[in-house]
Structure 1
């Protein structure tokens, strides 16, 4: 009876070990996939009488690693960032327990709700938040048409 219990416990232990191993392989595969796929930036796009304003969070990105391209009606933001994901180890004499920040690229192109004056666009990067202000090319005017 005791021998059967030990065999069952050993089988269960082997199954748990196999599941943990497969889980680690899956996590590595997902991490590799994520690192090769650019992240799509989340943006707030607002509009008032004078400007179209685009705000996006870029935590961990340096100002030098941000590229903004505009046309009269589109905005493209590219940002490079670093990510580290490792469990316990040593790097140049420093012991670490977790490294989870990322290396990669994030980008997005959006169609703007109005044509803009490209040469008057401004961008500010403060505490990981990028704000791009795009003055409108012309104010929208509304005309009422009488129906005969």
Structure 2
């Protein structure tokens, strides 16, 4: 790959300043795209996208795990923390498999993942339920009686 400055040239090189700024913008946009994906190529892992919702009686965590098999998921509890760990395996290494093929962009990732969340109460591991369907992990954590009692609605006037 040839070296190319990220900064526009102002002293008469063949490129115009406009095209150089356009190229700089594309490179910066690409950097932010990588940041949003959690730098999968750099970390050897991928970001787990999840939602956390709550009712008066429970907390529900849903995590998107596309391409992950149920046997490769580990959900564990320690005190008031819940850990979701696992690994997304690749069926084949596309770079090695396709000799002579030049890849311009690789966005699909494989590797390990881990997500830890801290809750405001001790978790009873025996009452936690986890379900995995269509690439979505749903973990339901019942709130203890003390946490339910402490919740009060405040009237807004």
Q: 1:113 to 1:142 in 2, by over 3 A?
A: closer
> Residue 112 of structure 1 corresponds to which residue in structure 2?
119
Are the aligned partners of 2:72 and 2:88 in contact in 1 as well (CA < 8 Å)?
Answer: yes
Alignment of 1:129-144 (within 5 A): 129-138=136-145, 139-141=148-150
Shift in Å at residue 137 of structure 1?
1.2
Q: 1:60 to 1:53 in 2, by over 3 A?
A: same
Q: 1:142 to 1:41 in 2, by over 3 A?
A: closer
> Residue 98 of structure 2 corresponds to which residue in structure 1?
89
Q: 1:63 to 1:142 in 2, by over 3 A?
A: closer
Are the aligned partners of 2:56 and 2:151 in contact in 1 as well (CA < 8 Å)?
Answer: no
Q: 1:128 to 1:74 in 2, by over 3 A?
A: same
Which of 85, 97, 121 is 2:128 aligned to? 121
Measure, in 2, the Cα distance between the counterparts of 1:34 and 1:82.
15
Q: Does 2:5 correspond to 1:18?
A: no
- List runs of 5+ in structure 1 lacking aligned partners: 1-16, 21-29, 91-95, 144-148
| Per-residue CA distance 1:96-126 (angstroms, 9 max, x = gap) | 8978643201111111244432211100000
TM-score normalised according to structure 2 size: 0.58
Measure, in 1, the Cα distance between the counterparts of 2:40 and 2:48.
18
Q: Which one has the bigger strand percentage?
A: 1
Q: Does 2:66 correspond to 1:59?
A: yes
Measure, in 1, the Cα distance between the counterparts of 2:40 and 2:119.
33
- List runs of 5+ in structure 2 lacking aligned partners: 5-38, 153-157
Measure, in 1, the Cα distance between the counterparts of 2:59 and 2:3.
51
Q: 1:31 to 1:61 in 2, by over 3 A?
A: closer
Which of 1 and 2 has greater Rg?
1
> Residue 7 of structure 1 corresponds to which residue in structure 2?
none
How many residues are paired up?
112
